[in-house]
């Protein structure tokens, strides 16, 4: 990256907080001043929102940086904080989850019921030889037993590694082997797009190369036929249901490993992100309460998968630590119809919705007439997570889902950070469409140039975190050196997130995506995010993805893949010409795409992330890389076909 990323787009729209929300907000402007005055004392105060069996001796040990210890000497149990303390306080009858299966079957689970189920599962795992420190792999669909399994592990001090149910057998194998898990919890399958989707066969295949796995616990969800290895495989209902529903939680050191979550490395094996207990639970509980302004009577829904960090932090540990009622949904947004999400919001009176920009742009493509058929008046806060949100998607979300009245909190954080880091607070900030805005109280971030110097307002660069934070990853599982090299070597003493960012004229932060997704066009460093935002601002465009492709003249050239809305899709060639001119008008000629491909769909993982790596392969006529993590691998063939159709031309 040269001195700075080009700062291309301007956004002047502002949305102040609703007066009623601001007046009763959990967090106010004063909280920032409090944290600035004494950052460590601020986090100690938030830690005391939890139950500690023994309080810490030292809040932060940073003496062996970049290896942090938070709340040193404190003793805590995550499951106790998520369940027992609420039941003991008389809130056992409060609903923890309204669970909705894709076929329409439902379960309502109270905190007391969840505690009993977790206790049974903890007793069953103990019977199978699981002890504190042992790793347990969880490969499950979005069913309540997934939460039960995680909390049972946390109760025992056994770190879990949840492997997303869309991953292949080889991905599961790699993760089991890397953290040496001896127990696997799975199900026969789950429901996806109206049909049973098998999981057990992937486990069986993975375990042909994992001889140290002793047992596989299998939840019966779909009643699919499964292969069975006697002595190794056990039905969940047979092993768990017979157990006592009483279990005394043991308290562990604050730095007891809570979970390992794997993220794909750009090369080589996946990285095992290690999160420990005390600091992580402190930050996810506080950020859930603060950023969503969570109240006791809220109905909260994170529309993500538990297999990703968003699910860990903001479906399981954060909401449960705060005693909140959540909605949990097994299936896809378009099964059995495209109004499924809005139907669920109306049914349960959801007041807080947290989802990904890719989902929002999909709903834009389908049209605002679909949510208009449902009563969404219960919504009072909307959240966005996963990647930068285009300003037009932000405004659409606020207008058509939030009724033009709800704050939108655009949250930046990572698997590595554990919890939210940069986001507006709904009762404090005037929302800016597309901006993550400011670090949360107690968080220190900066945008720097190549030399590590803070860039001025109006300029772009690299996003770094300048002080340790409670939920930070502690290391990469089994590889301390890779942890140092990956996150701490680019800027000495500072964590480099791998993301580009800019500061606007007010000093607020805008995320520009991974620095890998930055293009160098004729010496200008251009962010794919900003060009995508320009494309999506055109009324005919539902979604866009931009990549840089090698160009003999300019070094790299902009290649855009766009999904058009409704009737516009019929005019591919004319649309491509119009959109190139639109980008030139919005940003400038330097950002004008060399080529615009009109496509029906974009390659996405099941977490909703666009696989730009595959689009670069197409743009440069290379052989496609691995497509196993895509929602639908046939999408890439459709895109290849599009190369020879109208709308693919790079005409003027």
Neighbours of 495 (CB within 10 A): 23
- Whether residue 13 is preceded by a cis peptide bond, meaning omega within 30 degrees of 0, is no
Which residues touch 246 (CB under 8 Å, ≥6 apart)? Answer: 119
Which is nearest to 611 in space by CA: 636, 592, 577, 638?
636
Total count of domains within the chain: 3
Taking only the tens place, the pLDDT of each residue in 167-183 is: 888 889 999 999 999 99
Q: Do 288 and 230 fall into the same domain?
A: no
Is the CB of residue 425 less than 8 Å from the CB of residue 550? no
Taking only the tens place, the pLDDT of each residue in 307-353 is: 999 999 999 999 999 999 999 999 999 999 999 999 999 999 999 99
Q: Do 62 and 127 fall into the same domain?
A: no
Q: Report the pLDDT averaged over residues 238-248.
A: 98
What integer best gives the mean pLDDT of the chain? Answer: 91
Compute the half-sphere exposure of residue 584: CA atoms within 13 Å on the CB side of its CA: 11
Tell me whether residue 335 is annotated as binding: no
Tell me whether residue 536 is annotated as binding: yes
Q: Rounded distance, CA 448 to CA 464, Å?
A: 7
Percentage of residues of the chain with pLDDT beyond 70: 91
Tell me whether residue 332 is annotated as binding: no
Q: Compute φ and ψ for 198, nearest 5 degrees.
A: -75, 145
Q: Do 419 and 278 fall into the same domain?
A: yes
Q: Do 234 and 350 fall into the same domain?
A: no
Tell me whether residue 387 is annotated as binding: yes
* Distances 474 to 122, 222, 578 between C-alpha atoms, Å: 26, 38, 49
Neighbours of 584 (CB within 10 A): 15
- CATH code, domain with 603: 3.30.300.30
Q: Which residue has the higher pLDDT, 379 or 616?
A: 379
Q: Which residue has the higher pLDDT, 257 or 627?
A: 257
DSSP at 190: E
**Strand partners for 212:** none
- Tabulate helix, strand, coil % of the chain (nearest 5): 30, 25, 45
Which is nearest to 511 in space by CA: 404, 384, 651, 607?
384
The yes-or-no verdict on residue 6 having pLDDT over 70 is no
Tell me whether residue 447 is annotated as binding: no
Hey, CA dihedral for 479, 516, 392, 5, is it positive or negative? positive
Q: Rounded distance, CA 83 to CA 97, Å?
A: 12
Final residue in a domain of this structure, among 215, 250, 285: 250
Asked if residue 520 belongs to a domain, the reply is no
- CATH code, domain with 289: 3.40.50.12780
Taking only the tens place, the pLDDT of each residue in 111-122 is: 999 999 999 999
Predicted pLDDT of residue 267: 45
Predicted pLDDT of residue 628: 52
Q: Do 164 and 215 fall into the same domain?
A: yes
Q: Please name the helix (run of DSSP H) or strand (run of DSSP E) that holds residue 355, with its range, or none.
A: strand 352-355
Asked if residue 340 belongs to a domain, the reply is yes
Q: Rounded distance, CA 620 to CA 454, Å?
A: 35
Tell me whether residue 195 is annotated as binding: yes
Taking only the tens place, the pLDDT of each residue in 459-475 is: 999 999 999 999 999 99
* Distances 144 to 95, 106, 190, 216 between C-alpha atoms, Å: 13, 11, 12, 18
Tell me whether residue 414 is annotated as binding: yes
Q: Rounded distance, CA 582 to CA 585, Å?
A: 5
Q: Report the pLDDT averaged over residues 416-430.
A: 97
Taking only the tens place, the pLDDT of each residue in 502-523 is: 999 999 999 987 777 677 776 6
Q: Please name the helix (run of DSSP H) or strand (run of DSSP E) that holds residue 447, with its range, or none.
A: strand 445-448
- CATH code, domain with 198: 3.40.50.980
Q: Rounded distance, CA 195 to CA 527, Å?
A: 39
Asked if residue 648 belongs to a domain, the reply is no
Taking only the tens place, the pLDDT of each residue in 528-574 is: 877 888 899 899 998 899 988 887 777 788 999 999 987 665 566 78
Predicted pLDDT of residue 167: 80
Predicted pLDDT of residue 206: 96
Q: Rounded distance, CA 125 to CA 148, Å?
A: 12
Tell me whether residue 410 is annotated as binding: yes
Hey, CA dihedral for 503, 504, 505, 506, is it positive or negative? negative
Taking only the tens place, the pLDDT of each residue in 120-136 is: 999 999 999 999 999 99
Q: 158 is in which domain, residue-wise?
A: 110-250
Q: Do 51 and 139 fall into the same domain?
A: no
How many residues are present in the chain? 652
Burial class (CB in 10 A: 0-12, 13-18, 19+), 350: buried
Taking only the tens place, the pLDDT of each residue in 58-94 is: 999 999 999 999 999 999 999 999 999 999 999 999 9
Tell me whether residue 57 is annotated as binding: no
Asked if residue 357 belongs to a domain, the reply is yes
* Distances 387 to 21, 181, 529, 533 between C-alpha atoms, Å: 26, 31, 9, 12
Q: Report the pLDDT averaged over residues 435-464.
A: 96
Q: Give the pLDDT band (50/70/90) at residue 264.
A: low
Neighbours of 37 (CB within 10 A): 9
Which is nearest to 17 in space by CA: 403, 414, 431?
431
Q: Do 210 and 322 fall into the same domain?
A: no
Q: Do 245 and 172 fall into the same domain?
A: yes
Which two structure tokens, joined as six digits, stand for 458? 């109006």
Tell me whether residue 514 is annotated as binding: yes
Predicted pLDDT of residue 633: 60
Is the CB of residue 103 less than 8 Å from the CB of residue 221? no
Tell me whether residue 103 is annotated as binding: no
Predicted pLDDT of residue 632: 60
Final residue in a domain of this structure, among 231, 250, 269: 250
DSSP β-ladder status, 183-187 and 215-219: parallel
Is the CB of residue 535 less than 8 Å from the CB of residue 564? no
Final residue in a domain of this structure, among 513, 547, 580: 513
Q: Give the pLDDT band (50/70/90) at residue 49.
A: very high
Asked if residue 6 belongs to a domain, the reply is no
174-190 residues labelled b (16+ CB within 10 A) or e (exposed):
bbbebbebbbbbbbbbb
DSSP at 399: I
Predicted pLDDT of residue 611: 81
HEC sequence for 355-369: ECHHHHHHHHHHCCC
238 Ramachandran zone, left/alpha/beta (phi>0; psi -120 to 50): alpha
Tell me whether residue 490 is annotated as binding: no
Q: Please name the helix (run of DSSP H) or strand (run of DSSP E) that holds residue 175, with its range, or none.
A: helix 169-179
Q: Compute φ and ψ for 192, nearest 5 degrees.
A: -145, 120
* Distances 375 to 102, 371, 408, 595 between C-alpha atoms, Å: 21, 8, 19, 41
Asked if residue 49 belongs to a domain, the reply is yes
Tell me whether residue 538 is annotated as binding: yes
Q: Do 211 and 323 fall into the same domain?
A: no
Asked if residue 95 belongs to a domain, the reply is no
Asked if residue 502 belongs to a domain, the reply is yes
The yes-or-no verdict on residue 286 having pLDDT over 50 is yes
Q: Rounded distance, CA 249 to CA 15, Å?
A: 46
Q: Do 216 and 303 fall into the same domain?
A: no
Q: Do 114 and 46 fall into the same domain?
A: no
Q: Do 454 and 592 fall into the same domain?
A: no
Q: What is the pTM of this model?
A: 0.86
Percentage of residues of the chain with pLDDT beyond 90: 73
241-263 residues labelled b (16+ CB within 10 A) or e (exposed):
eebeeebebbbbbbbbbbbbbbe
Terminal-residue alpha carbon distance, the chain:
30
The yes-or-no verdict on residue 607 having pLDDT over 80 is no
Predicted pLDDT of residue 646: 37
């Amino acid at each position: 990256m040269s001195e700075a990323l080009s700062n291309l787009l301007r956004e002047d729209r502002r949305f102040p907080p609703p007066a009623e929300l601001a007046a009763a907000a959990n967090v106010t402007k004063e909280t920032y001043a409090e944290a600035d005055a004494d950052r460590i004392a601020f986090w100690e105060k938030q830690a005391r929102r939890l139950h500690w069996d023994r309080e810490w001796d030292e809040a932060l040990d940073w003496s062996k940086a970049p290896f942090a210890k938070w709340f040193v000497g404190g003793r805590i149990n995550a499951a106790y904080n998520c369940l027992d303390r609420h039941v003991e306080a008389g809130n056992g009858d409060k609903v923890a989850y309204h669970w909705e299966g894709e076929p329409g079957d439902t379960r309502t689970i109270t905190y007391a019921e969840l505690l009993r189920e977790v206790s049974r599962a903890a007793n069953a795992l103990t019977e199978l030889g699981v002890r504190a420190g042992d790793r347990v792999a969880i490969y499950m669909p979005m069913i309540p037993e997934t939460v039960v399994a995680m909390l049972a592990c946390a109760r025992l001090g056994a770190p879990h590694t949840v492997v997303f149910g869309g991953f292949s057998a080889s991905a599961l194998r790699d993760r089991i082997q890397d953290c040496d898990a001896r127990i696997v919890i799975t199900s026969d399958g789950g429901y996806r797009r109206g049909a049973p989707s098998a999981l057990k066969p992937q486990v069986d295949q993975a375990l042909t190369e994992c001889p140290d796995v002793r047992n596989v616990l299998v939840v019966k969800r779909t009643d699919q036929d499964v292969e069975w290895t006697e002595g190794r495989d056990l039905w969940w209902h047979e092993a768990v249901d017979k157990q006592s529903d009483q279990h005394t939680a043991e308290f562990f050191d604050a730095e007891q490993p809570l979970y390992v979550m794997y993220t794909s490395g750009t090369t080589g094996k996946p990285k095992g992100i290690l999160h420990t207990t005390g600091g992580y639970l402190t930050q996810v509980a506080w950020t859930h309460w603060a950023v969503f302004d969570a109240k006791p009577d809220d109905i909260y829904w994170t529309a993500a998968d538990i297999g990703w960090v968003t699910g860990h932090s903001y479906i399981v540990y954060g909401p449960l630590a705060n005693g909140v009622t959540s909605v949990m949904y097994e299936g896809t947004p378009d099964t059995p119809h495209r109004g499924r999400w809005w139907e669920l919001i109306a049914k349960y009176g959801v007041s807080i919705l947290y989802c990904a920009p890719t989902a929002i742009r999909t709903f834009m493509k389908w049209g605002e007439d679909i949510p208009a058929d449902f009563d969404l008046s219960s919504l009072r806060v909307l959240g966005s997570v996963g990647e930068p949100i285009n300003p037009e998607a932000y405004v659409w979300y606020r207008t058509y889902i939030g009724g033009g009245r709800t704050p939108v909190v655009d949250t930046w954080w990572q698997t590595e950070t554990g919890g939210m880091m940069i986001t507006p607070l709904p009762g404090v900030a005037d929302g800016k469409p597309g901006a993550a805005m400011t670090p949360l109280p107690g968080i220190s971030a900066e945008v720097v140039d190549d030399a590590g110097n803070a860039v001025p307002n109006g300029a772009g660069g690299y996003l770094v975190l300048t002080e340790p934070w409670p939920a930070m990853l502690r290391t990469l599982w089994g590889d301390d050196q890779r942890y140092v090299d990956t996150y701490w070597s680019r800027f000495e003493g500072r964590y480099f997130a791998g993301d580009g960012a800019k500061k606007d004229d007010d000093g607020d932060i805008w995320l520009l995506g991974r620095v890998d997704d930055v293009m160098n066009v004729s010496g200008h460093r251009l962010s794919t995010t900003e060009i995508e935002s320009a494309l999506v601002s055109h009324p005919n465009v539902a979604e866009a993805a931009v990549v840089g492709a090698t160009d003999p003249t300019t070094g790299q050239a902009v290649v855009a893949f766009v999904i058009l809305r409704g009737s516009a899709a019929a005019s591919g060639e004319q649309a491509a010409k119009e959109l190139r001119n639109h980008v030139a008008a919005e940003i400038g000629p330097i950002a004008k795409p060399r080529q615009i491909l009109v496509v029906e769909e974009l390659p996405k993982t099941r977490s909703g992330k666009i696989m730009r790596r595959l689009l670069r392969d197409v743009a440069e006529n290379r052989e496609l890389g691995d497509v196993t993590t895509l929602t639908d691998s046939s999408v890439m063939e459709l895109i290849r076909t599009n190369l020879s159709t109208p709308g693919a031309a790079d005409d003027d």
